[in-house]
Amino acid sequence: MIDATHDPKLTSWVASANGHRDFPIQNLPFGLFSPANEVPRTGVAIGNEIIELQTLVAAGLRQDSVTLDQVLATPALRKSLRQQMSQLLRDPRHADSAEPYLHSATDCTLHLPTHIGDYSDFYAGIHHAVTVGKLFRPDNPLLPNYKHVPIGYHGRASSIRPTDATVIRPKGQTKAPDVEAPSFGPSKRLDFELELGVWIGQGNDLGTPVDIGDAAHHIAGYCLLNDWSARDFQAWEYQPLGPFLAKNFMTTISPWIITPEAMAPFRQAQQPRPEGDPKPLPYLWDEADQATGALGLKLDVLIQTEAMRAQNLPPYTLSQSEARHMYWTPAQLVTHHTSNGCNLQTGDLLGTGTISGPTPDSAGSLLELSEGGKKPVILPSNESRTFLEDHDELILRARAEADGFVSIGFGDCRGHIAPAR
């Protein structure tokens, strides 16, 4: 899948793209945006700009325009558009014809890239599963099914929002262990979860599972995903059916679809399972997926409080993890989701679950960082946090790196906490 679009020598006539942290010409993610007071349209992020997909028609590189849903559903079309856009953006002869279709990203509104019909969230980060399990079940932190089954649950698609959307502190039912009856009120243990989102491209028919060897072809791209969590609600409600109101009040994603083609240089071998762990059942095992199905991504979590903004302090890095800590590959998640005949559809979104590393400073949630609220995290502003407070801003970032290739990023996934209504 590595081709001329990944050449590290490529530069663009869009000057801000050259050396850009997230969106050099080697990335070219797709998204939905609208310039000020204009209707949404499909675009590609390039440096600090967004260029309309329609530019390809104006430049004579295509005869017809396409929708983003068509891009998602058709791998060959997605690859062709990426190659055509790379050609347009590196050839200065196209600059004049493209100029009316080029917009400063700061002047645009970013939207969810497509209608999300369904959203499922997995639990693929084994270090998170073990650490959280110890908090709730010290003698039995990892349930016996975890190493056999990619655990997941059905989430709420209607409350997914793009970066920068305000997160209203949820209200719900909680019960402290030392009282007889539950109470209702704003969450006191609001948390983040560092996850990746997996966009489904080509769907499958109801009753027809997706084979593990073909699952990667059903993935249209990736994003960052913050599955906001009310831990006090979760502790009271999660038995026996799992997460509900503790999770469905809000999920934030980065709005650009980072394509499998852009990620091709950053594929890795899946981390070997520890000695003694069971090998997955045959329907979940593919040698090619094990050899190249993991993602080489470095993941950062940053916080900026109201006091930090007042003191002109930059966001503080809470945690640094890597996508390689996932126990299951994205392809295994897709295959397991459809193994009973469930039909995925174009635009469906899968969350990986919290991607924590093996060390305390690589935890993907405050629940882990604060050891369940027992150990406050000290910030540069001399504040402390066990869980998120009103007016905090939480930022997720991802960076793909590999020797011999230009690094690419996902763009920020930001959320601002507002008081409960």
Measured over the CA atoms of residue 86, residue 88, residue 89 and residue 93, the dihedral's sign is: positive
User: What is the widest separation between alpha-carbon atoms in the chain?
Assistant: 74
Contact 27, 223 (CB under 8 A): no
Q: Annotated binding residue at 52? A: no
From the number of C-beta atoms within 10 Å of its C-beta (0-12, 13-18, 19+), residue 256 rates as: buried
Instruction: Determine the Cα–Cα distance for residues 235 and 337; give it in Å rounded to an integer.
Output: 26
Q: Annotated binding residue at 193? A: yes
Instruction: Determine the Cα–Cα distance for residues 92 and 107; give it in Å rounded to an integer.
Output: 24
Contact 362, 356 (CB under 8 A): yes
Strand partners of residue 30: 44, 257
DSSP state of 192: -
Q: Which two tokens stand for residue 235?
A: 């502790």
The residues, ordered by sequence, that sit 6+ positions from 129 with a Cβ below 8 Å of its Cβ are 123, 141, 142, 146, 151, 327, 353
Q: Annotated binding residue at 359? A: no
| Residue in this structure with the two tokens 């009040």, named with its chain if needed | 249
Q: Annotated binding residue at 234? A: yes
Q: Which two tokens stand for residue 39?
A: 């209707």
Q: Which two tokens stand for residue 351?
A: 């969350």
Residue of 103, 127, 128, 337 with catalytic role:
128
> Collapsing DSSP states into helix, strand and coil, what is residue 216?
helix
Q: Annotated binding residue at 368? A: no
Q: Annotated binding residue at 289? A: no
Q: Annotated binding residue at 247? A: yes
- Annotation says 103 is catalytic: no
Contact 258, 27 (CB under 8 A): yes
Q: Annotated binding residue at 238? A: yes
Q: Output helix, strand, coil percentages for the chain, rounded to the nearest 5.
A: 25, 25, 50
**Which amino acid, 89?**
L
The residues, ordered by sequence, that sit 6+ positions from 116 with a Cβ below 8 Å of its Cβ are 157, 160, 347, 348, 349
| Residue in this structure with the two tokens 């325009």, named with its chain if needed | 65
Instruction: Determine the Cα–Cα distance for residues 136 and 148; give it in Å rounded to an integer.
Output: 21
Q: So which residues are the catalytic ones?
A: 128
User: Which parts are annotated binding residues for Ca(2+)?
Assistant: 121, 193, 195, 227
Give the residue ranges of the annotated binding site.
121, 123, 137, 193, 195, 227, 234, 238, 247, 251, 354
Binding residues for substrate: 123, 137, 234, 238, 354
